[in-house]
Structure 1
Amino acid sequence: MNATMVITVAGIVAIALVGVSGRRAPSKELGEWTVGKRRFSTFTTWFLQAGESFTTFSFLGLAGLAFGAGVAASYALCYLAINFVLQYFTAPRMRQLGLRGGYLTQADFFVDRYRSPLLGKVVAVVGAVFLLPYLQLQITGLGMIVQLATGSRAGGNWSMVLATVLTVGFVLWSGIRGIARVAYLKDALMIVGLVVLVVGVAVSVHGGIGGTFATLRDARPNLLTLNQPGYDGTFFVTAVIISSIGGGLGTMAHLWPPVLAAGSGRALRSNAVWLPLYQIALGIPVIVGFAGVLLLSKGAEPNSVALTLAGQTLPGWLVGLVAVAAASAAMVPSAAIVVGISSLLSRNLFSARTPRAQLRTNHVCVVVAAGLALVLGLLRPGLLADMLLLTYGGLTQLAPAIVMGLAKRVRLGAMPALLGIVAGVAVLTWLTFGGVDVGTVDTGLIALGVNVVVTVVAQVVLGGRTVGRDQGVEAVGARLG
């Protein structure tokens, strides 16, 4: 076992130990495990919310996209910044409703605002199904990170198993407090890892970072335009729109616990103002991808660009440090996604009656969800590749109902909301798996258009009474709890 592998494995274990240290006392009910006491500080909430900005996509995906598609990779920097602009308005309102109504999950919002347990169950299923491929992405990405850093395929597989088991362990033991504790470490590691990586690239390319762009301008100017096949201006604009809606309007279930756990709406607004600073760090993988165009062969695997360059430009122990940083970027989002999936299933789909039964059911769901994602990642890593394309697009189908539910009075009926979601998901599935050619337009945006039309027509035909929900919502919260 070489030094890189030793450092990587030790780092993965250390990350889990930090997560275990987050537990204060045994959780006796799902609320404590999922959202704590709803008094998290601005500092803690910052790191919990930042988790979605730094994932395995930050290390592997962005660099690979820049390597193959050029400047189109910058769409990630755009949509994440827009996410926080939208969250400035939506997150405090979600927290306010959650505090009054006792929400623990995204689906609780739908049950409460639309007075429809059926809608809550549908949302729970949609959320769990479309988050599963995102969970597999994190786990598979971690295996790829270790494999690329150490050169050992077997080592990558064993690291996937080890990291998944350790992540499940600290999540079950500490809940959201453990995730928060690891999030502190993860962001520090990510910043250090990205800086080390960009410095290694800078000293390897003639003229440094400036020389990289100057050389690309002369040798591969097409990479600095939105004219790449499959990655033109239409792709860029529609991808930014659908991803901004998906993240900014709370359509992803694993983003709700940090919001519901925040101590105040002011903390959420403050974070929404300053979190876009992380986009500076996310520019580094894009630069690394551009450097890969100059330093690697054209046939290189795009997702391997960042760590391949690290192996070529850095000593083994520094490669190990970069791998640990990347591993933390897989483990923390994995933990948050597992919490999102398990709480939806245990609270809203299976509807266990007592707090203790909910917590036990939740723990079973944690193990099953993580185990399924791990098995698929090991045996059929490409099985959910197409489904991954549905994650943002599929979850974005919840956006119209969320927007209407955030209003003081809910003027949309539960059945029109349900029909719109079902229609959008059905159209998205047909466009993705039916071989329909829509060019470079994001299929999620097309499905969202159908969703809105069906919702409006159903509202006109079926009607639905205006629901005033801001008064007496505490009673609804009691029923949810």
Structure 2
Amino acid sequence: MSGVNGVALTVLLLLFVMVAVMGFWASRWRRPETMDSLDEWGLGGRRFGTWVTWFLLGGDLYTAYTFIAVPAAMYGAGAVSGFFAVPYTIVLYPIIFVFMARLWSVSHRHGYVTPADFVRGRHGSRGLSLAVAVTGFIATMPYIALQLVGIQAVLEVVGIGGSGNWLAKDVPLFVAFVVLALYTYTSGLRAPALIAFVKDILIYLVIIVAVIYLPSKFGGWDHIFGAAETKMTTPSPATGKPAGAFIPSVAQYWPYATLALGSAMALFMYPHSITASLSASNRNTIRRNASILPAYSFVLGLLALLGWVAIAAGTKPIGLDGKPNAQLVIPQLFEDAFPSWFAGIAFAAVAIGALVPAAIMSIAAANTFTRNIYKEWYKPDATPAQEARVSKLASLVVKAFALVFVLLLDKQNAINFQLLGGIWILQTFPSIVFSLYTRWFHRWALLIGWAVGMVYGTIKAYNVASPTSKHFGGSVASIEGLGQMGYIALTAFALNVIVAAGLTLAFRAAKTPAGTDETEPADYFADAGDPRVKKLPDPAATLK
């Protein structure tokens, strides 16, 4: 422990303890008579206004992916591997502006808690609903794992974590798991909603200071871009090939474009993104947030460029095991370039920035399990209190499985955790988004198309190798029929839609039953106070 940065660690722990206390206290914030319902524990009572929703969505969408994985990809491989995240978030918000208000309205009208609830009501298909639920549950795990990798990176740079056996090295992960699990269990969605305020204040403070101070310290932006270009274009002694791409070449246009578009389409299919949206108090809150959330895209661009600042600074991200680890580059840059007290603030911003989304993700995945697996298939007569209890326990299980992803998959390319989840979750896009506008697609065709996309995407990703991993080493592969490299998720999605459309024609020609739709056109425009809104069971009454 001789390498521990005592000052930075003290500041980090003080801020970490502060937000943990806030997480536990959040159970009293806007507290209802009881927390024993998914509407209260899992959606915060559906009462969050514009600013709370903005901070919650920002805390939900801008994660360790933003603070650790994207700058690390820029540092290690350049623009194609990292900077695609900036146009992806720019493309994202017009997409959600169009469809998310419709999903909020129909969910508010019928009391839907998860996207699989909506699919069940729209198509009258338990099988299709189960497919959407299981996909969301599985795809969320590598995303939570990415948050835990971010926390581990910070603690490793500050000097905590053994360099010997795997148990000693991964102790920080287990500590983060316990803290996250406890306050999520007690406070539900209110905890990350409250903590998101602190997280965003810290992140904006650190980024503003970094982009003003670091360029002047390391020769200005001209020198920074020059150093990055030199590194990316210089052949590696090991491979004889350039380390990465300073500017994407013609051959890299398809990977860059498909990674950006596929990621944008996938992000709001995740249960946690929809959970944060459904917690809003009215449909206009969703649209206002789609208009102001691009402010985070500006921050993301600055964060991505810090990967190149680290190149100019000569940052050496070496783990406690003595091996290079690009995921440590931003924490190491802050430790090298700033006083220890400010480095501690930066470390806390990254760690808290990972805790907030991890909490929302585990809550959303747990809600999905409870509503669409436990209640739908095992206990249809479950009370609101039973649903809340099962969801709390399921949130613990989700985090435990996320730990498995961290321990078993290659952490050298942590951005691939998010991209891997994207391959799976994008296959639910037709069942959710298309169904908000039309019932033309047959329920069985959607289910078979989903299966084709899932199988194809998983096999393709499994066969991608990297210098440090034989399987699941990346998310880009040859696009069928084009011979160009592209994001596997988008290719799988295209196959999914083609199969679903073709089989829909066949099923309709055969007059196969299409299922019962419990929604009606007006449901997609319902707002707060609509007299037609389904009255949910009173959890307090069930306890009396």
How high is the TM-score relative to the length of structure 1? 0.90
What is the aligned counterpart of 1:424 among 453, 456, 469? 453
Matched, 1:139 2:148: yes
Q: Structure 1 residue 191: deviation in Å?
A: 1.0
Name 2:429's counterpart in structure 1.
399
| In 2, Cα distance between equivalents of 1:477 and 1:392 | 35
| In 1, Cα distance between equivalents of 2:389 and 2:231 | 59
What is the aligned counterpart of 1:105 among 102, 106, 114? 114
| In 2, Cα distance between equivalents of 1:394 and 1:86 | 19
- 8 Å contact 1:338–1:369 — kept in the other structure? yes
What is the aligned counterpart of 1:266 among 256, 268, 284? 284
The residue type equivalent to 1:443 in the other structure is I
Q: Structure 1 residue 414: deviation in Å?
A: 1.4
Aligned residue runs from structure 1 range 52-67, under 5 A: 52-67=60-75
Q: Structure 1 residue 387: deviation in Å?
A: 6.4
Q: CA distance change for structure 1 residues 472 and 74 in 2, over 3 Å: closer, same or farther? A: closer
Q: CA distance change for structure 1 residues 103 and 369 in 2, over 3 Å: closer, same or farther? A: same
Q: Structure 1 residue 70: deviation in Å?
A: 2.4
* Deviating more after overlay: 58-67 vs 293-302: 293-302
| Superposed CA offset, 1:167-186 (max 9, x none) | 22221221112221011111
Aligned residue runs from structure 1 range 351-362, under 5 A: 351=375, 352=379, 353-362=382-391
| Superposed CA offset, 1:142-184 (max 9, x none) | 1112112336447974433232222222212211122210111
Q: Structure 1 residue 220: deviation in Å?
A: 5.8
Unaligned runs of at least 5 residues, structure 1: none
Matched, 1:380 2:408: yes
Name 1:325's counterpart in structure 2.
349
Q: Structure 1 residue 91: deviation in Å?
A: 1.3
| In 1, Cα distance between equivalents of 2:152 and 2:74 | 22
| Superposed CA offset, 1:386-416 (max 9, x none) | 7654211210011112222111x52222111
Q: Structure 1 residue 89: deviation in Å?
A: 1.1
Q: CA distance change for structure 1 residues 195 and 273 in 2, over 3 Å: closer, same or farther? A: same
| Superposed CA offset, 1:303-355 (max 9, x none) | 22212211211111111111000001110010011011111111111114221
What is the aligned counterpart of 2:98 among 89, 94, 105? 89
| In 1, Cα distance between equivalents of 2:333 and 2:389 | 45
- 8 Å contact 1:27–1:33 — kept in the other structure? yes
| In 1, Cα distance between equivalents of 2:160 and 2:185 | 32
Q: Structure 1 residue 209: deviation in Å?
A: 2.8
SS class of match (2:345): helix
Name 2:309's counterpart in structure 1.
291
RMSD in angstroms over aligned alpha carbons? Answer: 2.8
What is the aligned counterpart of 2:373 among 342, 349, 363? 349
The residue type equivalent to 2:159 in the other structure is T
The residue type equivalent to 2:136 in the other structure is G
Name 1:241's counterpart in structure 2.
261
| In 2, Cα distance between equivalents of 1:33 and 1:210 | 50
The residue type equivalent to 2:393 in the other structure is V
Q: CA distance change for structure 1 residues 241 and 308 in 2, over 3 Å: closer, same or farther? A: same
Q: Structure 1 residue 295: deviation in Å?
A: 2.5
The structure with the greater share of residues assigned to helix is 1
Q: Structure 1 residue 285: deviation in Å?
A: 2.1
**How many residues are aligned here?**
473
Q: Structure 1 residue 104: deviation in Å?
A: 0.8
SS class of match (1:226): coil
Q: Structure 1 residue 132: deviation in Å?
A: 0.8
- 8 Å contact 2:133–2:372 — kept in the other structure? yes
| In 1, Cα distance between equivalents of 2:336 and 2:315 | 13
| In 1, Cα distance between equivalents of 2:254 and 2:304 | 20
How high is the TM-score relative to the length of structure 2? 0.80
SS class of match (1:441): strand
Name 1:173's counterpart in structure 2.
186
The residue type equivalent to 2:452 in the other structure is A
Aligned residue runs from structure 1 range 194-343, under 5 A: 194-206=207-219, 208-214=220-226, 216=228, 223-227=245-249, 232-247=252-267, 250-296=268-314, 301-343=325-367
Aligned residue runs from structure 1 range 2-13, under 5 A: 2-13=6-17
* Deviating more after overlay: 215-224 vs 94-103: 215-224
- 8 Å contact 1:171–1:335 — kept in the other structure? yes
